[in-house]
Amino acid sequence: MAALVFLRRHLAFLAFSVVILSAPLFTGNIYYLSILAFMATRLMIALGLNLLMGQAGQISLGHAAFVGIGAYGSAIMTTRWNMDPWLAMLFSAVFAAAVAGLIGVPTLKLKGHYLAMATLGFGEIVHILLVQFKWLTNGTDGIGGIPSLAIGGIDFGDPQMFHWLVWGVVLLMLRISLNLVDSRVGRSLRALHRAEVAAMSLGVNTSFRKVQVLMVSAVFASIAGSFFVHYVQYVSPVSFTLTFSVILVTTVVIGGLGNVWGAVWGSVLMVLLPEYLKRYNQDYTLLVFGVMLIVIMIFLPGGLVSFKTLVAKTRERLGGARTASAAGPGPARGS
Amino acid sequence: MALLRVENVTKRFGGLEALKDVSFSLHDGQVKALIGPNGAGKTTLFNLISGIDRPTSGHVFFRDEDLGRLAPHMASRLGVGRTFQHSKVFDDMSVLDNVKVGRYGRSHAGVFSAFLTLPRHRREEKAISEASLRALRRVGLGDRAHESAGNLPVGDRHLLEIARSLASEPTVLLLDEPAAGLNNEETAQLAEIVRRVRDDGVTILLVEHDMGFVMDISDEVVVLDYGKKIAEGPPLMIRNDEEVIKAYLGEDL
């Protein structure tokens, strides 16, 4: 009985884990695995951004820069200073968190979208530094020869092994994000999003919580950047532009902000779609993203993740009273 | 010894003086009402007492703490709870989750223990749920716990805000126009709930326009007009105070 309750509660998570972890058993195709690896790093970033935007209602337009800190941190520390890749990943994440704190403390005390503006500027500054600090970053030439990850004798340069490693980390991040949403901290974030003054009057230290969730999202992004560069073994500044930050925001908005699973759907769609469009004409990608964003905002304002509600509503409208009580839009939850 | 002391409080917004040298105190176990015509400064005063805003000059003391010197969330931690005139229910959350936010200051789980759902965290979550349900039952919303808060009718939204605040175990509860939009029956129910909360040892300060409700429930009344205190005393005295009658000009108290 207890096992059944557990299964029901975690069904979505377990099903997703099984599907994604068994993927390499069905295909050894390097191209497919590389898309999935790319999707994994995208999902790491999207999970953090989903917590920041969906739960706390704060917008970051510079998240590419946090990914860049992880990517360049790992690249520089491993190739130039011969540091252990895992240690480099850790240091980069700590640095990203510190930077997020420095941006967050002054801006998140203010009400309104100051964080969006501050992160927009921050993203541009990081991009310029990556290009200009040639002595450290090698400028637009980028850094190559980044070693692949390894633990003991296991080499994660192998695409299948990397798949299990990176998706293992993603699943861990997904699990802890779901846990967070369903906790005291998660509730306080949703509360301050909806009515900050009311949250304060109930004892929530709103500025602290906002800065903290920004730092968490920066850490997720930085770790994604580290995994990314260890996989492709090369990094250059072109990956970390405002366009990428906007694509990241689009990913979580299209997926759905009210629910952690929105990050999953958004990442799947926003990684697969460009791969598909590439066959026709790459220039159309951004155009298609833009149109898709508009269409989803109009017809599915809760994002892809709210599709079930839309289906239920439509059925309700068509089926009349017979199915009316079957399903309604419940309060936003994440488990 | 007064529980709450408002001492010579002045609040200016630019050129507008919303409160002028207001002083009064609130004693343990009292129900005190704050009345006055629209724009008299009642909500401004509430914002100062609940720590959300700071006085331009003067002090608000809760026991010995000067609330104007503390961070906004500290008033609640010390024991000052409040509701809002314009409903600030968290609409996209369930009724129960709304009240659970009220337990925030009485619980401790941080981001890491939430990430890992440690056993300690699970025990705390269970305690939060139980305390929140108790608070909901105190206002009669126990059986609506799992509904979406956005679906509640106006009257129940006030009650939800009261339950949410009660969950934080306040010593003083500030109610900002709790009877607004209620019919007679609902107002009577509200009065009953407020009395019960008072009997449980919570001191109450309320802003209200419904004079029947105010006169019925309050031990003392403070009258504000244009940011100044013009009278203070038991309801019967206030009802016959000349200056108060003038301020309300023709309105029947």
**Considering the domain boundaries, does residue A24 fall inside one?**
no
Q: DSSP E strands: which ranges in B124-212?
A: 172-176, 203-207
**Domain presence at residue A199:** yes
Domain span at B137: 4-248
> Contacts of residue B109 in chain A, CB cutoff 8 Å?
183-185
Q: Taking CB atoms and an 8 Å cutoff, what residues of chain B touch A184?
A: 100, 103-104, 107, 109, 114, 124-125, 128
> What was the pLDDT predicted at B53?
93
Per-residue pLDDT for A328 more than 60?
no
Please judge whether B114 and A195 are an interchain contact, meaning their C-beta atoms are less than 8 angstroms apart.
no
- pLDDT number for residue A247: 93
CA distance between the termini of chain A: 19
Residue B68 maps to a domain: yes
Q: Is residue A174 part of a domain?
A: yes
A residues 275..334 contacting B (CB < 8 A): 329-332
For residue A74, what are the domain limits? 29-324
Angle between helices A206-232 and A63-79 (to 10 degrees): 50
Q: Each residue of B132-157: b (16+ CB within 10 Å) or e?
A: bbebbebbebeebbebbbbebeebbb
Total number of domains constituting chain B? 1
SS (H, E, C) chain A: CHHHHHHHHCHHHHHHHHHHHHHHHHCCCHHHHHHHHHHHHHHHHHHHHHHHHHHCCCCCCCHHHHHHHHHHHHHHHHHCCCCCHHHHHHHHHHHHHHHHHHHHHHHHCCCCCHHHHHHHHHHHHHHHHHHHCHHHHCHHHCEECCCCCEECCEECCCHHHHHHHHHHHHHHHHHHHHHHHCCHHHHHHHHHHHCHHHHHHCCCCHHHHHHHHHHHHHHHHHHHHHHHHHHHCEECHHHCCHHHHHHHHHHHHHHCCCCCHHHHHHHHHHHHHHHHHCCCCCCHHHHHHHHHHHHHHHHCCCCHHHHHHHHHHHHHHHHCHHHHCCCCCCCCCCC
pLDDT at A71 over 90: yes
Q: Is residue B253 part of a domain?
A: no
How does pLDDT run across A234-274, given as a tens digit for each residue? 999 998 999 999 999 999 999 999 899 999 999 999 999 88
In a domain, A77, yes or no: yes
Give pLDDT tens digits for B216-227: 999 999 999 999
8 Å CB contact of A183 and B117 = yes
pLDDT per residue as tens digits for the range B63-89: 999 999 999 999 999 999 999 998 899
- A305 domain residue, yes or no: yes
- What is the least distance, in Å, from the CA of B219 to any CA of chain A? 25
**Is the confidence at residue B247, as pLDDT, over 90?**
no
Look at residue B52 and tell me whether its pLDDT is greater than 80: yes
Q: What is the pLDDT of residue A333?
A: 44
| pLDDT tens digit sequence for A274-321 | 888 877 777 778 888 888 888 888 888 888 888 777 777 777 777 654
Query: pLDDT tens-digit profile of A4-62?
Result: 777 777 899 999 999 999 999 888 788 999 999 999 999 999 999 999 999 999 999 99
pLDDT tens-digit profile of A139-155?
A: 999 999 999 998 888 88
Percent of chain A with pLDDT over 70: 94
Confidence of residue A329 (pLDDT cuts 50, 70, 90): very low
pLDDT band at A72 (very low <50, low <70, confident <90, very high): very high
CB contact under 8 A, A184 and B104: yes
Kindly state whether B30 is in contact with chain A, defined as any CB-CB distance less than 8 angstroms: no
Other beta carbons less than 10 A from residue A54's beta carbon: 28
Residues B182-230 have pLDDT tens digits of 999 999 999 999 999 999 999 999 999 898 999 999 999 999 999 999 9
Task: Tell whether B158 is covered by a domain.
Answer: yes
Determine, yes or no, domain membership for A71: yes
Q: How many domains does chain A have?
A: 1
Q: Is residue A6 part of a domain?
A: no
Residue A246, CA atoms < 13 Å, CB-side half-sphere: 9
Backbone conformation region of residue A303, classed left if phi is above 0, alpha if psi is from -120 to 50, else beta: left
| pLDDT for the residue A330 | 42
Residue of B249 and A182 predicted with greater confidence: A182
pLDDT value for A323: 41
Chain B residues whose beta carbon lies within 8 Å of the beta carbon of residue A330:
94, 148
Closest Cα in chain A to B109 = A184
Inter-residue contact A251 to A270 (CB < 8 Å) = yes
Residue with tokens 């310029």: A128
Q: What CATH number should be reported for the domain holding residue B150?
A: 3.40.50.300
Contacts of B123 in chain A (CB under 8 A): none
Predicted model pTM = 0.90
Q: A147 lies in a domain?
A: yes
Hey, which residues 162-201 in chain B have their CB within 8 Å of chain A?
Answer: 164-165, 168
What value does the mean pLDDT of chain A take? 89
